Structure 1
Amino acid sequence: MTIKTKLTAAALAVIASGAIAGSHSDTGNPMVGGAAMFPDKNIVENAVNSADHTTLVAAVKQADLVDTLMGPGPFTVFAPTNAAFDRITDESLNQLMMDQHKKQLAQILTCHVVAANAMSDAIAGMIADDGGTHPVPTVGGCTLQAKMSGGTITLTDEQGRTANVTVADVKQSNGVIHVIDRVLLPAM
């Protein structure tokens, strides 16, 4: 069984444990990964329902960040999809998911988290106010560079890798999720 198969199975186990959300009616939130996202549920409670975020959910669990992301926040999470994790080699992902690399995994994941509730219009405003590029300090100690490309927010990590926000403003009870198409890394 590959690590990605194991991660999917682990995430599905979390969903089966009772974290499945009910009706999505009239929340104003976009669907993510084929699932309803509820503004009265926290980041973890919503993320476990997204078929596009099974690898992220498993990584958050492995890094012991579940309790943190279920906390009061506020948090802005730039949430990489499974396809974003697929851009990482199986060997590298397998290594990151090992217990002895838990600290490194936690740093990578927290470089996707900001200790604020930053909706896309606020981020776009900060980008404009800063002349086209806004530094975004993360909980993990990284600084991402936010820019606009057309109508899309992009984030560049400390290694020069760029992610696009593909779904913005997924409201949570403890912040907001913006779905991104690449895993961001700290300077190493």
Structure 2
Amino acid sequence: MALSFPVLAADPIVGGAPMLPTKDIIDNAVNSKDHTTLVAAVKAADLVTTLKGAGPFTVFAPTNAAFAALPAGTVDTLLKPENKAKLTGVLTYHVVSGKVDSKAVVAAITAGGGKAELKTVAGGKLTATLVGKDVIVTDENGGKSKVTIADVYQSNGVIHVVDKVLLPK
């Protein structure tokens, strides 16, 4: 059975900008107009140096619309200096160690009898499943996010764009 995961050709366009595999996660993300909130949050949490590091990392990157869908005031509250630890926890909950591309995710879902558990660098767990041909990532609270763009390769990992913010317990 052929399973699909929305995959783009080399140098995909994300947020109006080409994502070059020769650049790191941060150097690409800052050019995406769809990820300005994520970039601001990464800067506020002092994670720029980490995500510019060797990795490899797999990032489930929520769009601006995903952040906007959170309850009113959530993003502003998280961006306050006194909430840096909580913000860091939310952001690192979207990161998995290693370069887990779509083939690896689908293979893990198949091997797991329909679901794959992914351990985040925050220490939490995400569960990946297939719903039709869509990969759905579920957080520990039951929140679901769809991968809308997969396999955006970076020099230090891979990004999968998601349509909802995933929240740790």
TM range (shorter): over 0.9
SS in 2 for 1:90: coil
Q: For 1:170, give the aligned amino acid.
A: V
Post-superposition offset of 1:121: 1.0
Question: Do structure 1's residue 186 and structure 2's residue 168 form an aligned pair?
Answer: yes
Q: TM-score, normalised by structure 2?
A: 0.93
Which residue of the partner structure matches residue 154 of structure 2?
172
Residue identity over aligned pairs, in percent, reads 53
Query: Between Structure 1 and Structure 2, how many residues are aligned?
Result: 161
Q: In angstroms, what is the RMSD of aligned CA positions?
A: 0.9
What does residue 135 of structure 2 align with? 153
SS in 2 for 1:153: strand
* Residue equivalent to 2:29: 47
**Residue equivalent to 2:104:** 122
Point out the structure with the larger strand share: 2
More helix by share: 1
Larger gyration radius, structure 1 or structure 2: 1
How many Å separate the matches in 2 of 1:152 and 1:91? 30
Deviation string 1:107-166 (CA, Å, 9 cap, x unpaired) is: 000000001101101100100000001111000111001001122211000110000000
TM-score of the two chains, using structure 1 as the length reference: 0.84
- Return the match for 2:61 from 60, 63, 79: 79
Structure 2 match to 1:163: 145
Q: Distance in 2 between matches of 1:93 and 1:177?
A: 21
Equivalents in 2 of 1:92, 1:166: separation in Å? 23
Query: Could you tell me how far 1:29 is from its partner in structure 2?
Result: 2.5
Which residue in 2 is equivalent to 1:32?
Answer: 14
Specify which of 70, 79, 95 is matched with residue 52 of structure 2.
70
- Choose between structure 1 and 2 for higher RCO, CA contacts under 8 A separated by at least 6 residues: 2
Match of 2:94 in 1: 112
Letter in 2 for 1:147: T
Moved over 3 A (4+): none
Q: Which structure 2 segments of 5+ residues have no match? A: 1-8
